[in-house]
């Protein structure tokens, strides 16, 4: 072997010797930097209840399909928190199948939508409600053991919240927390009322759409700002919307606006993997959105927190003014 060949072999040996530690570092780097460079706010979409009625002239199957089409167009998966009561008949089963078949996740939102801050809805009532709807959703391949509290009420006092939390974990359930709460249900209510009043053709649908989109984005920015101050990072948000006509008509525009305002839009099942959902507030601060109760618990944000956190009373005046 010539000296030149020996030198090449020697250099090759050094290079190969270095290769493993180097490539290990390279492999690890993207994972670390992915977390570090999450520079944009992140939102995912969750839908509550599950209505099987025709709405203001829109046939049930048609408006339900409109929601699913918006999600499909954006290649986006949602979590659908359903109430059990109206899901046992043909229409209810059709609804669950349509979401499950499109790859969305089906989760638990009680059987009859009780308010667990009310005296009469005890922890025993809670367990019954949880089990009844679990039996309905567990037949669908994409079901998950997340429970969303009706009205985001988890119990009117600490002892009851604790009992309910024990029942949740006994059944291997987690709280399907909302981080961004808003009043889409109220805009929907007024939209339906207006369509009934003046007819679909005479309605100023763009003004409704603009109000809706700007309202949701405004609440999203509010919760994102609060969350960023507390957590020092952009968490994966879970936005609460409802299975209703505003979702059917405006969801596409809403997703577009989130993107235009610099938000990343992700699948809701992925969003729920965020560590934030393990930081469960103390039971005396339970209820409302997760960000709200974290802020309440910190004691630092009382000047920017209102109660109720979200309600029709905050939107009524502006909607009246716009004749919506």
Count interface residues toward Zn ion (CB under 5 A).
Answer: 3
Distances (CA, A) of 73 to 212, 234, 318: 20, 25, 32
DSSP state of 182: -
**Which span (125-133, 148-156, 162-170, 303-311) binds Zn ion, by CB under 5 A?**
148-156
- Of the candidate residues 42, 43, 45, 49, the single one contacting Zn ion (CB under 5 A): 49
Smaller CB separation from Zn ion, 230 or 239: 239
The vertex-85 CA angle with 53 and 267, nearest 5°, equals: 75
Smaller CB separation from Zn ion, 48 or 274: 48
CB of 228 to Zn ion, least distance (A): 27
Cβ atoms of 263 and 213 within 8 Å: the answer is no
Tokens (6 digits) for 262 = 């610099």
Cα–Cα distance for residue pair 222/279, rounded to 1 Å: 20
Q: Among 247, 276, 115, 99, which Cα is nearest to 182's?
A: 247
**Which span (45-53, 221-229, 276-284, 285-293) binds Zn ion, by CB under 5 A?**
45-53
| Residues numbered 186-245 forming contacts with Zn ion, rule: CB under 5 A | none
Q: Among 277, 279, 34, 237, which Cα is nearest to 144's?
A: 277
Which uninterrupted H or E stretch holds 25? helix 3-36
288 binds Zn ion (CB under 5 A): no
**Which span (123-131, 143-151, 215-223, 292-300) binds Zn ion, by CB under 5 A?**
143-151
Q: Among 210, 212, 264, 284, which Cα is nearest to 45's?
A: 264
Smaller CB separation from Zn ion, 234 or 238: 238
CB of 176 to Zn ion, least distance (A): 11
Total H helices, total E strands in the chain:
11, 7
Smaller CB separation from Zn ion, 42 or 180: 180
CB of 67 to Zn ion, least distance (A): 16
E strands in 163-312: 174-175, 236-242, 264-265
Beta strand 105-108 with 79-82: parallel, antiparallel or unpaired?
parallel
Cβ atoms of 125 and 88 within 8 Å: the answer is no
Smaller CB separation from Zn ion, 219 or 234: 219
Smaller CB separation from Zn ion, 48 or 269: 48
Smaller CB separation from Zn ion, 41 or 150: 150
- Of the candidate residues 48, 224, 267, 288, the single one contacting Zn ion (CB under 5 A): 48
Cα–Cα distance for residue pair 55/59, rounded to 1 Å: 7
Smaller CB separation from Zn ion, 230 or 268: 268
**Which span (29-37, 93-101, 133-141, 149-157) binds Zn ion, by CB under 5 A?**
149-157
CB of 109 to Zn ion, least distance (A): 6
CB of 94 to Zn ion, least distance (A): 20
Point out the residue whose Cβ comes nearest to Zn ion.
48
Which residues here bind Zn ion, judged by CB under 5 A? 48-49, 150
């Amino acid at each position: 072997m010539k000296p030149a060949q020996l030198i090449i072999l020697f250099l090759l040996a050094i290079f190969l010797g270095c290769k493993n530690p180097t490539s290990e570092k390279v492999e690890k780097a993207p994972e670390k930097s992915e977390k570090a460079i999450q520079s944009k706010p992140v939102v995912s979409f969750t839908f509550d209840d599950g209505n099987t009625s025709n709405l203001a002239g829109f046939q049930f199957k048609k408006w339900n399909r409109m929601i699913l089409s918006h999600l499909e167009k954006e290649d986006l998966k949602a979590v659908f928190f359903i109430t059990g009561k109206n899901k046992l008949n043909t229409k209810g089963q059709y609804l669950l199948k349509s979401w499950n078949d499109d790859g969305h996740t089906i989760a638990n939102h009680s059987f009859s939508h009780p308010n667990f801050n009310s005296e009469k809805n005890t922890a025993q009532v809670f367990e019954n409600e949880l089990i009844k709807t679990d039996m309905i959703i567990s037949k669908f391949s994409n079901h998950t053991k997340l429970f969303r509290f009706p009205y985001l009420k988890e119990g009117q006092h600490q002892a009851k919240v604790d009992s309910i939390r024990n029942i949740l974990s006994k059944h291997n359930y987690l709280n399907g927390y909302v981080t961004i709460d808003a009043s889409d249900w109220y805009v929907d209510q007024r939209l339906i009322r207006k369509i009934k009043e003046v007819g679909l053709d005479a309605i100023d649908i763009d003004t409704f759409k603009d109000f809706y989109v700007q309202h949701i984005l405004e609440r999203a920015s509010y919760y994102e700002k609060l969350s960023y101050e507390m957590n020092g990072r952009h968490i994966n948000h879970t936005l609460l919307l409802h299975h209703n006509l505003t979702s059917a008509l405006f969801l596409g525009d809403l997703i577009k606006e989130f993107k235009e305002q610099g938000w990343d839009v992700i699948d809701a099942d992925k969003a729920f993997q965020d560590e934030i959902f393990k930081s469960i507030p103390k039971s005396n601060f339970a209820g409302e959105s997760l960000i709200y109760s974290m802020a309440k618990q910190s004691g630092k944000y009382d000047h920017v927190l209102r109660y109720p956190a979200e309600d029709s009373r905050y939107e009524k005046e502006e909607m009246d003014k716009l004749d919506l």
